[in-house]
Amino acid sequence: MDDWTDTGNSITTPSELLEFLSLLRSEAHHMRVGLSRAAWGALNSRAWDAIPEEGQSRPNDEDILDGLDMTVTPAGTTAKDATLRQSLATLITALDVVDRAALTAWLAHVAATDPNRTA
């Protein structure tokens, strides 16, 4: 994304905005998936894509986020570990918000040009 606005390019037309939104959404989604899988791997001491043990499957992004996000710190969790988990959950959530906001902006453009178009 740094090759767009950081190098002096500008957004002056709706089509350029849609292209930028698509790029933004794609990048945010890839970062969210990558960060959640890396976080799971770091917290479980094995890579996310390692062959699951028999009877188990790889967790999806929502399962990983549920494991990180805490409203109450589990008993025995150190402050350092709780901070790490909550920070990762916050970053993953923020990337999800960017992804959803970009989708909303794209849908708003579609709705403005053709409200009855299939999304």
**Residue ranges covered by each domain of the chain:** 13-45+58-65+78-106
| Residue whose entry in the numeric block shows the structure tokens 């062959």 | 51
Write b or e for each residue in 53-83: b if 16 or more Cβ atoms lie within 10 A of its Cβ, otherwise e. eeeeeebebeebbebbeeeeeeeeeeeeeee
pLDDT-derived band at 90 (thresholds 50, 70, 90) equals very high
Instruction: Tell if the pTM clears 0.75, that is, is over it.
Output: yes
When the pLDDT of each residue in the chain is averaged and rounded to a whole number, the result is 85
The pLDDT tens digits of the residues spanning 34-76 come to 999 999 888 888 888 887 777 788 888 888 888 888 888 888 9
